[in-house]
């Protein structure tokens, strides 16, 4: 209990999405604070990941994986697949998941594939994994790999809103099969009607189809739900320029 109490303020800051404040708190803890070092490494890794300081995040996430599941660079993954569902195992899977995404985003594809395989063996949600790898590929400008991963995600779960929305958005951005893109985005929006991302994507498809009034309607809704999102703002601006 004393170990958790030592981290309580930082955890509260993290849960309130104050990642900079949480990171400062965790880093300021003295050695004799009583905090469990693995718990501290876990939260430091999460904070750094949220702040997109990926090299720092890897250091701490790898510590957690090593503590709970063996060396992340050498374990064969059998431990993850046979482990019982416990808070420690859930944390191990979460850290493996984050590491897989970070490895992929930072060009460490062999390590990313290793962690992906471990997660697959563990029964971790395949659709979510593939969707995350698809987004990582898109961020790196690899649209072909991105589309492939989104298709794999939908093979695992045809009703995964993230994969449906992502694939529709990417197809529209590439001006590929806009009718299919619209179908994917409509289905995603039906599954997640309050999602700013889904509203943005369907608006973007309509923009690409030349249906600018429809595009503005959805993009304005997306903007109201997520006014700080630069991508949504850019899409709405472009739609407004042509629909005057």
CATH at residue 216:
1.25.40.10
Name the domain boundary from 72, 103, 124: 124
User: Which residue segment(s) compose the domain that 39 sits in?
Assistant: 1-124
Q: What is the pLDDT of residue 105?
A: 77
236 occurs within a structural domain: yes
17 occurs within a structural domain: yes
**pLDDT tens per residue across span 166-223:** 999 999 999 989 999 999 999 999 999 999 999 999 999 999 999 999 999 999 999 9
Average pLDDT of the segment spanning 66-85: 52
Q: Residues 125, 109: contact at Cβ < 8 Å?
A: no
Q: What is the pLDDT of residue 124?
A: 76
Number of neighbouring beta carbons within 10 Å of residue 193: 10
Is 95 in the same domain as 20? yes
Mean of the per-residue pLDDT values for the chain? 87
- Report the number of distinct structural domains present in the chain: 2
Q: How confident is the model at residue 136 (pLDDT cuts 50, 70, 90)?
A: confident
Q: What is the pLDDT of residue 170?
A: 96
Is 93 in the same domain as 174? no
Given a cut of 60, whether residue 79 has pLDDT beyond it is no
Is 109 in the same domain as 169? no
Name the domain boundary from 105, 124, 143: 124
**pLDDT tens per residue across span 39-60:** 999 999 999 999 999 999 999 9
167 occurs within a structural domain: yes
Is 2 in the same domain as 78? yes
Number of neighbouring beta carbons within 10 Å of residue 37: 11
Is 36 in the same domain as 117? yes
């Amino acid at each position: 209990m004393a170990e958790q109490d030592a981290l309580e303020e930082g955890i509260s800051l993290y849960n309130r999405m104050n990642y900079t404040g949480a990171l400062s708190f965790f880093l300021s803890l003295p050695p004799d604070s009583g905090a469990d070092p693995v718990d501290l490494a876990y939260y430091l890794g999460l904070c750094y990941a949220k702040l997109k300081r990926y090299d720092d995040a890897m250091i701490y996430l790898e510590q957690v994986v090593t503590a709970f599941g063996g060396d992340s660079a050498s374990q064969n993954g059998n431990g993850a697949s046979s482990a019982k569902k416990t808070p420690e195992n859930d944390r191990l899977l979460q850290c493996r998941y984050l590491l897989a995404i970070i490895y992929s985003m930072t060009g460490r594809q062999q390590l990313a594939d290793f962690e992906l395989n471990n997660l697959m063996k563990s029964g971790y949600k395949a659709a979510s994994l593939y969707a995350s790898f698809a987004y990582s590929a898109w961020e790196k400008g690899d649209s072909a790999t991105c589309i492939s991963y989104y298709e794999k995600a939908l093979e695992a779960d045809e009703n995964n809103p993230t994969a449906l929305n992502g694939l529709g958005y990417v197809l529209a951005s590439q001006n590929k099969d806009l009718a299919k893109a619209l179908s994917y985005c409509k289905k995603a929006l039906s599954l997640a009607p309050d999602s700013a991302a889904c509203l943005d994507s369907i608006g973007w498809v309509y923009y690409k189809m030349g249906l600018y009034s429809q595009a503005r309607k959805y993009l304005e809704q997306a903007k109201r739900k997520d006014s700080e999102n630069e991508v949504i703002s850019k899409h709405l601006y472009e739609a407004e320029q042509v629909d005057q």
